[in-house]
Each structure stands twice: as structure tokens, then as C-alpha cells.
Amino acid sequence: MKLHLKSAVSILPIVTRVTSIVTLSPEQLPSVLTEETDNSNIEFIEDTNKDNKDWYILPDNSDLICDKKTGEICHPLEFKPESDWKEILPLQMIPPGLNVRMNLETGLKEAKLRDLNISPEELENETNEDSLSELHEFKAFFDKLEKNMNVEETLEELIDFSHDYKHGFKIIQKEQNFIINQLRKDDVNDTIKDLYLRLLTSCLRNNPPAKEMFFIKNVDYIIKTILEWINKNKSILLKRCINILQNVAYKASPNGNLIDNLELLYTSTDDLDNKIKILEIFADLEILTDTEGDQINFHFNPEEKSIVKRNMENKSNLEAWFREYCDKIQSKTLDDFYVVKFIKTIVKFKDINSDLKPDDSFMNWIAEESMKKFNKLEEEKTNNLETRDLEKESFDKDFIRIRHEVFGNKMASRIKVPLDEL
């Protein structure tokens, strides 16, 4: 079934609003470096004093780091050295050339201004040590890329390294701006750009610390290029952009045209894999909207990043996207990982507008699937089989409830299927 959208941009204009606040659980909320600050002359210290995931960097250009729980305890982003040893606080960035130590008595990492009264020999030794510490293990690779030497081979090697999450984090931390700048260049061919995009994807996938370090401005650049590459029919590069956004779409700025550009890409492609991944991105954003907890994510605005809420006043659009999910969830090759997300999003559509009706194909599919899941649960119960996957069992029970309570007769379902026992 085709999605009847004339133009994603014309149908869903971006409206400036006060950024909404959504509460998220700690695992889902990364601390984020948001600004376009050039960190080439600033060293990021991997803090061991406190858990960095309990802190985030404010996105309001105030250069403050605050605790996620209350948002009331804050300290400066940039470390201000003094002549005496001073603790390096969580997520702080320090300028190069300082003396840095681990205080063995307190377990805190500390830094201070370099002693100007030390001998020339000691100064030379410290300078050499600092220079080495500012390098990272992949600096030589990026020096070759900058000099345009063995570019394809070098990028393939970096991609192999980046599968290790520590290496992926280091590449994002130190070289993300270099990679984005290469993507901006007109004289870099598509084959090389493809490799750079693959490198970013490999660094970010299943790597929360790398996502933390990926700048919002760079997320917005990836989104911006979608429109340009649609017009130039660069299908391979567009596929890579989708892969990247599967990891960091939630970080897009409110005026980044995330939904608009992804809608336009969805309607312009016949690639089922691309469509499934775009629907997953939208589903992830819907799930984030409903997540509850005591943490704050200032980088997620449900009014701008919820495809359901953006179409509440446009029934034809709302119905079109609802039918897309109902259609694609029936794909034979769709992994259970996607089914879980898609069914939750379909329910979200129904919560917003109960008049939305799926077609007979979906109703037959969900009836068959729920019966399969029910029979499996009954078999395990009858044979006293121990459930190996508790999460899947929980979803199967929820799926059966959804089939009857959302898409059937709730009271009749209690006769046909003993829901209370599930």
C-alpha cells in the first residue's frame, strides 16, 4: 500500500516551540556534547572520579554540566586549572599542557598548571609525555587520510578496528569532525564517502559512549544531506545515512527537519529495507515519548520527533502512516526485534485515534500470530517447560492482549482466551 503524501515538507512544516521535556530511564539517556566547539585543542578526560552517565551537558550554550537526577548540581564544561592540584569533575574538558595525576589517596583524577620553575630537562620530558598523551592510536591512520594516501585501504582498516567499542568511541571522540568535513567536500568521490559513512555507523552501533560523544551539529548534517542526496539519486549514501540515524536520530535538533526529510526519503524509495529502517526510527522515537523515569533528556522533543503527534490534526496522514505500519509488520522477513517496536507504535496510533481501522490482511495476520503465541505458551505450561526468554514470553502475552483488546472484542476474548491466566 502506498503512502499518499504529496510532500513531506509541505505537509509537516516544522513549528518552533518551547522544547518539551521527556523523562527517560538512565540507560536510554546519554550525556551529550552538543555544541560546535572545536575540541582539537582540548583534551577530553575519561573521568574515573564519578560515573559520567549521571551527568549531561546542557544544550543551551551555557557550557555547564549538570546532574541528570535533579539538574540542580552543575559545574563548568571547561576545566579551569590553578597552581595547586584540582579535581577534574565529570565530563570536564581540559586544555593541553597541564600536569595530570591520579590521587592515590582519594582516587580522584586531578590537574594543575605546569610548574614553571622546573629544569629544562624535566620540561622537555613532560612536553614529550604530554605530546604522546594527546595522540591516539589511530592518529597515523587519519594523517594518511588527510594526505590522501591509501584512502580506501586505510578506511577499511579503520572500519575493522571500529567494531571494538573502545576503538569506536576513540574515533568518534577524536575524529568525527574530520570525517564530517570529508563528507562535505565536493572532490571526495562517492566510494570514499560511502566508506566514511560506514565508519561512522560502525563506531556508533551498539556503542552508547560513542553516541554520547557524537555532536548534535553532526546529526543535523546527516539529516540535511538526505534532501541533497535524494535529488542526486545517491541511493547507497542514503542507505548509510539511515543506518547512522538508527543510532542517533533522537539527538537531532528541533529545527533539523528530521521527520520531514525521512518522510520524503520514505516516499521516494522502493527499497523495502530502507522503509523498514525508517519506520523503526519513527517507532524508537514514539517509544522514547512514552518512557517514564526520573531522568531528563533535553535533546528529545516529542512534538517535533513524534510522527503520531505531528499528524494528529491531519487524519489522512495519520491514517496513511498507520496503514504503513500495519502493512510492513506483516513482512515475512521481519525480525521479531522490529515486530515488537511496530506493534507498540500501531497501538500508539490507535490510542490517538480509535477510529483508525486496519485492513483485513492485518486482522488475519494478527489473529494467526496471536494464536501461534497462545498455543506455544499453552504447550510450555502443559509440559512444565522452563521459559528461556522471559522478555519474549512477556511480549507474547502482551501481543495476545493487544490482538483482543485493541483489535477485537475484549469481553469475548476472555471467553476464548483466558487472558487473566497470561
Give the model confidence (pLDDT) of 404-416 as tens digits.
Answer: 999 986 554 454 5
Region 120-144: mean pLDDT is 62
Which of 76, 102, 134 is where one domain is finished? Answer: 134
Tell me, what's the pLDDT at 47?
Answer: 39
Which of 287, 303, 319 is where one domain is finished? Answer: 303
- 281, 162: one domain: yes
- 190, 68: one domain: no
Tell me, what's the pLDDT at 383?
Answer: 76
Residue 24 near residue 295 (C-beta atoms within 8 A)? yes
- 15, 109: one domain: no
- 217, 239: one domain: yes
CA 209 to chain centroid, in Å, comes to 11
Q: In 387-407, which positions are buried (b, 16+ CB within 10 angstroms) versus exposed (e)?
A: eeeeeebebbbbbbbbbbebb
Neighbours of 315 (CB within 10 A): 12
How far apart, in whole angstroms, are the C-alpha atoms of residue 111 and residue 103? 10
Name the residue with higher pLDDT: 300 or 144: 144
Identify the weakest region by mean pLDDT among 202-216, 225-239, 377-391, 403-417. Answer: 403-417
63-78: per-residue pLDDT in tens?
788 888 777 889 988 8
Location of C-alpha cell 483485513: 360
In a domain, 47, yes or no: no
Find the domain containing 385 and state its range. 359-421
Q: What is the CATH number of the domain that holds 259?
A: 1.25.10.10
Which of 256, 281, 303 is where one domain is finished? Answer: 303
Tell me, what's the pLDDT at 316?
Answer: 93
Name the residue with higher pLDDT: 239 or 25: 239
Residue 417's SS3 state is: coil
Region 268-283: mean pLDDT is 96
185-202: per-residue pLDDT in tens?
999 999 999 999 999 999
361-410: per-residue pLDDT in tens?
999 999 999 999 999 888 888 777 666 678 888 899 999 999 999 998 65
12-50: per-residue pLDDT in tens?
332 323 333 333 333 333 333 333 344 444 444 443 334
- 183, 288: one domain: yes
Mean pLDDT score of the chain: 79
In a domain, 167, yes or no: yes
- 24, 108: one domain: no
Tell me, what's the pLDDT at 409?
Answer: 66
- 105, 198: one domain: no
The DSSP code sequence of 183-205 is: HH-TTS-HHHHHHHHHHHHHHHT
315-371: per-residue pLDDT in tens?
999 999 999 999 999 999 898 889 999 999 999 999 999 999 999 999 999 999 999
Residue 91 has pLDDT above 70, yes or no: yes
Residue 111 has pLDDT above 80, yes or no: yes
CA 194 to chain centroid, in Å, comes to 20
- 124, 146: one domain: no
How far apart, in whole angstroms, are the C-alpha atoms of residue 203 and residue 159? 8
- 92, 73: one domain: yes
In a domain, 315, yes or no: no
Residue 122 has pLDDT above 60, yes or no: no
- 147, 114: one domain: no
Q: What predicted TM-score, i.e. pTM, was given to this entire model?
A: 0.69
Residue 223 near residue 256 (C-beta atoms within 8 A)? yes
- 255, 395: one domain: no
Residue 238, C-alpha cell as written in the block: 542514503
**Residues in the chain, overall count:** 422
In a domain, 399, yes or no: yes
How far apart, in whole angstroms, are the C-alpha atoms of residue 250 and residue 176? 18
Q: What is the SS3 assignment for 270-324?
A: CCHHHHHHHHHHHHHHHHHHHCCCCEEECCCCHHHHCHHHHCCCCHHHHHHHHHH
Phi, psi at 26, each rounded to 5°: -55, -35
- 124, 150: one domain: no
Residue 417 has pLDDT above 70, yes or no: no
In a domain, 317, yes or no: no
Neighbours of 7 (CB within 10 A): 11
Residue 337, C-alpha cell as written in the block: 526485534
- Per the structure, the count of domains in the chain is 3
Q: How confident is the model at residue 300 (pLDDT cuts 50, 70, 90)?
A: low
Residue 81 near residue 94 (C-beta atoms within 8 A)? yes
DSSP tag of 102:
E
